[in-house]
């Protein structure tokens, strides 16, 4: 069986990295804006490793580094980002965002209000705004976007920040 040429190996590796990156990206909710920059960077690094296969690699160490780079940037990092992208507080914030958007659409409004988010969070057993403590008695993130969304009413951290851009388009990120 003939060995694949370096060009064929590079194209196959680049194609595989692209398929994994797109599949992992689609597996994550689009409202999680923080992941697209990381996904683009890891895809770029994976493609750079695939481009290294195009060069004549006569040294075994160079081949090992290229394969490890392809495995890390093309498979491990995209898959782990997908698996870790929705911790409970982020998942709760996504559910609240969906409920708030549905409430605004039901009332025929073109934008989600802070009151919609508060009502949706409270209906799910959570709260909006930071929990007042002895150190910080003032509640933050309860009056204007981005709002701090807590999955449990009496829970401090972890929480998620939720904002709506262009009226009904939600963006969720960790605070």
Element (H, E) at 127: strand 127-128
Q: What is the pLDDT of residue 99?
A: 93
**Chain segment 126-175, per-residue pLDDT in tens:** 888 877 777 767 777 678 788 888 888 887 777 888 888 888 888 887 77
* Whether the model pTM is above 0.75: no
pLDDT of residue 48: 83
Alpha-carbon span 166 to 50, nearest angstrom? 38
Q: How confident is the model at residue 33 (pLDDT cuts 50, 70, 90)?
A: low
Q: Is 31 helix (H, G, I), strand (E, B) or coil?
A: coil
Axis-axis angle for helices 77-84, 34-52 (nearest 10): 160
**pLDDT tens column, 72-130:** 888 888 877 776 666 778 888 889 999 999 999 998 888 888 899 999 999 998 888 87
> What distance in Å separates the CA atoms of residue 49 and residue 77, rounded to the nearest whole number?
14
Pairwise CA distance, residues 12 & 100, whole Å: 44
- Please give the pLDDT value at position 1: 42
């Amino acid at each position: 069986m003939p060995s694949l040429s370096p060009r064929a190996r590079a194209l196959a590796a680049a194609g595989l990295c692209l398929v994994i990156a797109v599949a992992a990206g689609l597996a994550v909710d689009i409202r999680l804006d923080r992941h697209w920059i990381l996904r683009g960077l890891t895809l770029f690094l994976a493609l750079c490793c695939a481009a290294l296969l195009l060069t004549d690699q006569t040294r075994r160490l160079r081949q090992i580094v290229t394969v490890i780079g392809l495995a890390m940037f093309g498979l491990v990092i995209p898959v782990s980002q997908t698996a870790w992208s929705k911790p409970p507080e982020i998942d709760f914030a996504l559910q609240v965002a969906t409920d708030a958007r549905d409430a605004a659409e039901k009332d025929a409004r073109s934008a989600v209000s802070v009151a919609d988010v508060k009502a949706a969070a409270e209906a799910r057993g959570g709260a909006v705004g930071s929990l007042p403590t002895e150190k910080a008695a003032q509640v933050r993130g309860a009056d204007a976007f981005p709002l701090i969304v807590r999955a449990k009413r009496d829970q401090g951290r972890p929480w998620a920040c939720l904002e709506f851009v262009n009226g009904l388009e939600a963006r969720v990120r960790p605070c």
